[in-house]
Amino acid sequence: MQLTLSRISLLAQSFILVASTSVAMAQSSQTNFGASAWGNNSNGQADVPLNATAQITAISASANATFLLKNGAVSAWGANQNDELNIPTTAGSNVSAIAAGYYHCLALKQGEAIAWGFNVVGQCDVPLSAQSGVSAIAGGGFHSLALKSGQVIAWGYNDDQQCDVPASASTGVSAIAGGGAHSLALNAGVVLAWGNNDDGQCDVPPAALAGVSAIAGSSSTSFALKNGAVLAWGSNESDLCTIPASAQTGVTAIACGLFNVAALKNGRVYLWGQDSGQLTVPEDGLKGVRAVALGGSHVVVMIDVGDCDNNGIRDSYELYNGALDSNQDGILDVCQITPVNDRNNNGVFDSYEISQNPALDRNNNGVLDSYEISQNPALDRNLNGVLDSYEIAQTPALDANGNGIVDSADLAAANTQIAALTAQLNCGDLNGDNEVNGADVGLQLMNYGPCPQ
């Protein structure tokens, strides 16, 4: 049995999602997440139950089972040959995180690590040190990891020293991940690795010795996320270390299966590695994905299923039409429109309209001129839809009497001024209309200068 386990351990994996904190998990009170899955379904591991389609907060996957967290309780479906679906009562409330190994699962409850499932090599025998104060958990192939006060704690199968935590991982660690028979930690942006190194999975490359934000491990390969690009080293079986162009920029989270890798980018899942049908990403993996986890040969995603406008279409789909989210905050405009931010009641933020057409706010006070005029008609005495104050600023002559209002009084004042000028110039009826008025004055000034002789 020991020899068999040694061989299997090299094929085992980590299924824990290591996500960047920049992923917005809850942008508004309307945000709602559900699970979706695809790939190998020989044990029902991709059959998402109805209660998993909304209000979930975390996902994970083992070889042939799927786990999720909802309302602080762990639920699971799929294969149960190693009791991984027999969730202990302690994991039925107040759980804040979940992780899975090859055939076992872990949960974090109020600082305590809980484990169940396959336990032949002690991966579910949580040590006393991991029963309080724990902040993160991760599952390796047949071993388990916990993070406590910056220190890594490991237990379970240790034939490759994957549980012999080095001194460099005893303080200052911020993230952990497990591979088949090796372990990974992140310390101040530096990747640490120990355990089985037959394929160089613990030979951390120079690029991963600074600036790394997330880590993950597969059977015999290690991965890191740095400045939005995925790095890989170790076994290149199934081309795991051949990073596709889509995963070289803009990635926010990574996850590993046995011989598969997932990258999350702009709400979409990108997959590479061995293909048992799971690399064909369905619609649910193309938009609105907030987290991803990989099992032996199936994929689980946590997707935004919110429908704040109750139109039967997921908000995450609608958000791909930028016009529906004019202020680019990840929330549909229609779900934020109020009488205050949409004064003209046209379903578009006033601020967006003004940014696109500054003429809608001539006085630059952030309020549509049309709304101001509707509330106070005196602001537009000449009823031309333009604030008098703006017109006067542009053409002072429109306020002939200097009272700050463009109205009939200005016309009367202008006529008086014209009459005075006409009398002063007194050139007579130059245009032949039998009247001496402003038209004659204008004609004189344009064409004659002094009165014609």
Instruction: Say if CB 178 and CB 139 are below 8 A apart.
Output: yes
**pLDDT 10s digits, 14-68:** 333 333 322 223 233 346 889 999 999 999 999 999 889 888 999 999 999 999 9
Report the range of poorest mean pLDDT among 18-27, 256-265, 418-427: 18-27
Measured CA to CA in angstroms, residue 337 lies from 10, 324, 343, 345, 374 at distances of 55, 11, 10, 9, 20
3-state helix, strand, coil in the chain (%, to 5): 25, 30, 50
pLDDT of residue 211 exceeding 90, the answer is yes
HSE-CB of 26 using CA atoms within 13 angstroms: 7
Measured CA to CA in angstroms, residue 157 lies from 91, 123, 144, 173 at distances of 23, 7, 9, 22
**pLDDT 10s digits, 287-333:** 889 999 999 999 999 998 766 666 656 666 566 556 666 666 566 66
The CATH label, of 3.10.300.10, 3.40.50.2020, 3.30.70.141, 2.130.10.30, for the domain at 2-304 is 2.130.10.30
The residue count of the chain comes to 453
DSSP state of 333: G
Average pLDDT over residues 77-86: 96
Measured CA to CA in angstroms, residue 245 lies from 257, 274, 275, 279, 283 at distances of 20, 17, 18, 16, 21
pLDDT of residue 453 exceeding 90, the answer is no
Average pLDDT over residues 394-410: 65
How far apart are alpha carbons 333 and 349 in whole angstroms?
7
How many Å from the N-terminal Cα to the C-terminal Cα in the chain?
126
> Any idea where the domains of the chain sit in the sequence?
2-304, 337-398, 408-447
